[in-house]
Structure 1
Amino acid sequence: MAEQHWAKTEERGSYWGILFVLRAYQYGGHWLMRLVLAPVITYFFLTGKASRRASCQFLKRVHEFAGGKSPFTQPPGWRKSWYHFWQFGLHALEKIDAWVGKSPKYAVRNCGDTQFSELEKRPEGGLLIGSHLGNLEVARAMAGKKYSRRLNVLVFTQHAQSFNKALKAVNPKADIDLIQVTDIDMGLAIMLKERIDNGEYVVIVGDRTSVTAPRQSVTHEFLGQPAPFALGPWILASVLECPVYFLFCLKNPEDGNYDLYLNFACEQLKLPRKRRQEALQPVLKQYAEQLEQLAIRYPYQWFNFFDFWHKDSQ
């Protein structure tokens, strides 16, 4: 059976449904939500054949690629995969913490070559390219509490507007702008360019191919196998003519605190149309290798539950 593109997985939700979950968590906290979470995660693990297969595939590739540095003492099986699902659920709770403005109980440790305080000193904004590895919401919440620069988050889901509305109802002071995106066009680029010129930052993920044009991708090695990466974030970076950074925020399994990796990529990404893919290779290599290294160190925080190496044909 042919694998589906990640975006074809149906999403269900509405303003009232999202608001109910946020309110329940706001007043019930982790204790109540964990009671609900355990059977829900187990249900999705048992019934989600494609997601379960993708989880096992990823964990096994990490183990094989890392060799003697593998985070696993033996080839991971279904128990490791269930734990992978469970960690996704726990991270979802901490994302809600960040969304509703609850004070975090953990510290954030800077592990990259750049700090948010340095971004605060620059006159212009920039583009932060992250991934579905780790918890970008914690990084956003931390930056929002300490720094004045606004973060505009591009999301490729159908419920961004409903979520924005529900989040404002729960936390009117939430300083986050989720921008629903189906395609990166010139209108969007112009709007984002204006915000960056005003000193704001744009956050986009670079590890999933396009929702509307999955074949618009570039192939690069990841964990020993060629994988498709989206072209859109990199083309956007070149159009915006702004500084580009990589952003990853991952929970340290040893002490429960967060490791923040904010790394400078380039002052301006130039992609000539006639040699776009060739010109992209150095910065894409830098991104893919960092993603690879962090995936090996924090394997349970990889939240792409689909065949990452599958090349879309539609």
Structure 2
Amino acid sequence: MSHWAKKEERGSYWGIVFILRAYKYGGHWLMRLVLAPVILYFFLTGGDARRASLSYLQRLHQFSGPASPFARAPNWRNSLRHFWQFGLASLAKTDAWIGRIQRTDVQNCGNTLFQDLEQRSEGGILIGSHLGNLEVARAIASSNYSKRMNVLVFTEHAQAFNRALQELNPSVAIDIIQVTSIDMALAIRLRERVDQGEFVVIVGDRVSVTDASQSVQHDFLGAPAPFAIGPWVLASVLECPVYLLFCLRRTEDAGFDLHLDLLTTQLKLPRRERQQAIQEVLSRYVAKLEMLCQRYPYQWFNFYSFWQQHDKDL
């Protein structure tokens, strides 16, 4: 089985530009008309992604028991809806960065507010996931607060989307750092930025592009799954506050729920007890993921075999 990063990125820079321009000049309705056949095409031709979607939905249903968000076992219709929500999430990213989503559209649900971060002299690390829409959170924060957010990305696809977004709106300022691995040189660079009051944003639900062995197994939705240790090791090296960050679309209206939670004021990973310490902090991260998956079941956007990537396959 291929590592997730070896999967061919479906789509291109100019394809993204075309879709975003259709949105700019035609608005939501034209964008949805353009998006619908594109999503259907990827659903019909993307067998691996379709099976991964259904596997996730069925695992969530079984794990949740009586609290399942589904009335019955999910089928291909649920999977198609999952794909469609992914398309809408891309639309929401654009909405956020061109100012069509305002701060009043976002409800704070965590134990920390962005204005709390603004008032701190020290920066920190924000650990999110492919659950929900981090871009909406970053756009709202960037347009309302002065603290700089440095986003670590591991694929060229993210870079292509942001280049296309800047074609649409040249005033968009997006601080992207494309990396293949987290090494000491990167950690030193980021430590300087955090000391200056900036923040680092990274996702915690994908294993390393270049060294997938740098992961640990942890139960997620009832079965072992690999989680990267890189974000947690980086957090310990930065010696700064660690926050969890999730931004999810509400089903009842067009707004978003922002979950920004202080996890710890400083993450320490003693050499002799490092694995145990990582498992402890990872258990809190995974518990949050599971709770939010149950509440927002169609907003988990890892369209690959998340649970089946054992060490021998990575």
TM-score w.r.t. the length of structure 1 is: 0.94
2:224 is matched with 226
Q: Which amino acid aligns with 2:51?
A: R
Q: Secondary structure at the match of 2:156?
A: coil
The match for 2:204 is 206
Whether contact under 8 Å (2:131, 2:299) holds in the other structure is yes
Q: Secondary structure at the match of 2:211?
A: coil
CA distance, structure 2, for counterparts of residue 136 and residue 285 of structure 1: 21
- Name which of 215, 239, 259 aligns with 2:237: 239
Partner of 2:74: 76
- 2:50 equivalent to 1:90: no
Q: 267, 281, 284: which one pairs with 1:283?
A: 281
User: 1:8-44: CA deviations, max 9, x gaps?
Assistant: 1112566555444433322222211211111111111
Q: Is the 8 A contact 1:112 1:261 kept in 2?
A: yes
Distance in 1 between residues matched to 2:163 and 2:37, nearest whole Å: 29
- Please tell me whether residue 59 in structure 1 is matched to residue 81 in structure 2: no
Question: Secondary structure at the residue paired with 2:298?
Answer: helix
Instruction: Name the counterpart of 1:26.
Output: 24
1:255-270 matches, within 5 Å, as 255-270=253-268
DSSP-derived class of the 2:29 partner? helix
Return the match for 1:144 from 138, 142, 145. Answer: 142
Aligned length: 312
Offset at 1:171? 2.3
Structure 2 residue 259 is the aligned partner of structure 1 residue 273: no
Choose the corresponding residue for 1:185, options 178, 183, 186. Answer: 183
Distance 1:205 1:274 in 2: 26
Q: Is the 8 A contact 1:18 1:166 kept in 2?
A: yes
User: For structure 2, which runs of at least 5 residues remain unmatched after alignment?
Assistant: none
Aligned partners of 1:150 and 1:176 also within 8 Å: no
The letter for the 1-side match of 2:141 is A
Q: CA shift at 1:146, angstroms? A: 1.5
SS in 1 for 2:219: strand
- For residue 232 of structure 2, give the secondary structure of its aligned residue in structure 1: helix
Greater mean alpha carbon deviation, residues 249-258 or residues 110-119: 249-258
Worse-matched range after superposition: 168-177 or 9-18: 9-18
Q: Given that residues 229 and 278 in structure 2 are in contact (C-alpha distance below 8 angstroms), is that contact kept between their aligned partners in structure 1?
A: no
Q: 1:37 corresponds to which letter in structure 2?
A: L
- 1:129 is aligned, of 127, 130, 135, to 127
Distance 2:151 2:288 in 1: 21
Which 10-residue stretch deviates more, 267-276 or 196-205? 267-276
Q: Which moved more, 1:13-22 or 1:104-113?
A: 13-22
Q: Distance in 2 between matches of 1:159 and 1:229?
A: 21
SS of alignment partner, residue 32 of structure 1: helix
CA distance in 1, matches of 2:185, 2:272: 23
CA drift at 1:220: 1.0
Identity of aligned residues (%): 65
Say if 2:103 and 2:140, in contact at 8 Å, map to a contact too.
no
Q: CA deviation at 1:161?
A: 4.9
Unaligned runs of 5+ in 1: none
Post-superposition offset of 1:207: 0.5
- 1:168/1:82 Cα in 2 relative to 1: closer, same or farther (>3 Å)? closer
SS at match of 2:71: coil
- Larger mean CA deviation between 5-14 and 161-170 belongs to 161-170
Amino acid at match of 2:245: L
Task: Indicate the SS of the match to 1:265.
Answer: strand
Residues 101 and 174, structure 1, Cα contact 8 Å, conserved in 2: no
Aligned partner letter, 2:218? H
In structure 2, distance between residues paired with 1:292 and 1:165? 33
Instruction: Name the CA distance, whole Å, in 2 between partners of 1:85 and 1:14.
Output: 18
The answer to which of 18-27 and 169-178 deviates more is 18-27
The one-letter amino acid of 2:202's match is: I
| Candidates 290, 293, 296, aligned match of 1:295 | 293
The 8 Å contact of residues 19 and 34 in structure 2, kept in 1 or not, is answered as no
